[in-house]
Amino acid sequence: MSYKRVTLSQFLMEGQHRYGGSGTLTSLLTDIRTTCKMISHEVNRGAMAGNMGVAGTENVQGEEQKKLDVLANDIFLHMTAQSGNYAAMASEELEDVHVVHGSAGRYLLLFDPLDGSSNIDINIAVGSVFSILRLPDGASGETLESFLQPGVKQVAAGYAIYGSSTMLVLTTGHGVNGFTLDQNIGVFVLTHPNMRIPEDASEFAINASRARFWEPPVKRYIDECLAGAEGPRGRDFNMRWVAAMVAEVHRILCRGGVFMYPVDDKNTKQGGKLRLMYEANPMAFIVEQAGGRAITGQDRILDINPTGLHQRVGVILGSKNEVDRLERYHQDYEATAGKAEV
């Protein structure tokens, strides 16, 4: 039996040679690797390290912060600043841009240090999500404007999932690869090369407790799935909801499906639930690189021109043919709704 194991560092070096990189991307992602290893350790220690429960503070979104939200945020800020690659950062847990003083870095890092925080105290999967942008020429990391770039400008993105095992899944625009942390030797090993999302699927994820707020296109899609083999879809569908976007996206990368947190009548004022810059954009980059699609209902998420660090959007992503169908239902609805108004 060949014992060929490829570590994340070897994979990044190999990519550097293949795509003629300068080594900066390798260094950028090495910062992220170390950060996620440290957060994985703290998540796994859980109550033993007193990491459970609330921190007694609120973040810029007005959400109660968990102790691990604050700890993971500190680990991200500290560990990724070491290399000096990043000029500045933005986090779900910080209101404003965090400038890395003295850094001559040419990159910007955006992150959700702990996604799925409501799962921490009940020992269900959580994760970290990151997005890397170039600092525009002539721009300084001090300004918000340098961050407000559409998702298509990302040079790399990914997530770590702290579940039954710890994995790091990432893209640099050349497909999607998954690495599992070998706890014995403390290295990420390539276990899921070239992940691809099946175009068809029979599994959806949406918070059904919000059904009364759904817009007609989403309601139509879910009703048809729930009608099963006797209904217009002619087959049965299954449902999942982990309440951690990282886990939903990881499931879809592994076996297909569609994940939705759409704009609905209850969150429409704030533009949706999930944040564009450090949740929707990195996940949309990953999903598209794996052959899936990611839309708001109307628009391709990666084409959105951001207006704010903590801007929220509707998210519909996953298997191409299911997202195509949801997009059609939105277009049909807008066409009929448009006619009704005339």
Residue indicated by tokens 């690869």: 177
Strand pairing category for 238-239 and 203-205: parallel
Binding interface with ligand FBP (CB under 6 A): 92, 112, 115-118, 207, 243-245, 261
Dihedral over Cα of 223, 211, 93, 100: its sign: positive
Q: For residue 99, how many other CB atoms are within 10 A of its CB?
A: 15
Q: Report d(CA 140, CA 91) in Å as an integer.
A: 18
Closer to ligand FBP at the Cβ: 88 or 244? 244
Closer to ligand FBP at the Cβ: 269 or 339? 269
Three-class secondary structure of residue 243 per DSSP: coil
210, 272 Cβ separation under 8 angstroms: no
291, 141 Cβ separation under 8 angstroms: no
- For the CB of residue 157, give the shortest distance to ligand FBP in the complex, in Å: 16
Cβ-based neighbours of 53, under 8 Å, separated by 6 or more: 66, 67, 121
- For the CB of residue 275, give the shortest distance to ligand FBP in the complex, in Å: 8
Q: Of 86, 57, 79, nearest to 70 (Cα)?
A: 57
- For the CB of residue 257, give the shortest distance to ligand FBP in the complex, in Å: 14
- For the CB of residue 37, give the shortest distance to ligand FBP in the complex, in Å: 20
Residue indicated by tokens 């990189």: 21
Q: Report d(CA 25, CA 7) in Å as an integer.
A: 16
Closer to ligand FBP at the Cβ: 99 or 243? 243
- For the CB of residue 322, give the shortest distance to ligand FBP in the complex, in Å: 18
55, 120 Cβ separation under 8 angstroms: no
Closer to ligand FBP at the Cβ: 11 or 130? 130
Three-class secondary structure of residue 177 per DSSP: strand
204, 224 Cβ separation under 8 angstroms: no
- For the CB of residue 26, give the shortest distance to ligand FBP in the complex, in Å: 28
Closest residue (Cβ) to ligand FBP? 245
Q: Report d(CA 87, CA 141) in Å as an integer.
A: 5
Closer to ligand FBP at the Cβ: 2 or 164? 164
- For the CB of residue 282, give the shortest distance to ligand FBP in the complex, in Å: 12
Dihedral over Cα of 11, 73, 153, 254: its sign: positive
Closer to ligand FBP at the Cβ: 60 or 335? 60
Closer to ligand FBP at the Cβ: 11 or 261? 261
- For the CB of residue 244, give the shortest distance to ligand FBP in the complex, in Å: 5
Q: For residue 9, how many other CB atoms are within 10 A of its CB?
A: 14
Instruction: Give the distance from CA 123 to its chain's centroid.
Output: 20
Closer to ligand FBP at the Cβ: 118 or 140? 118
- For the CB of residue 258, give the shortest distance to ligand FBP in the complex, in Å: 13
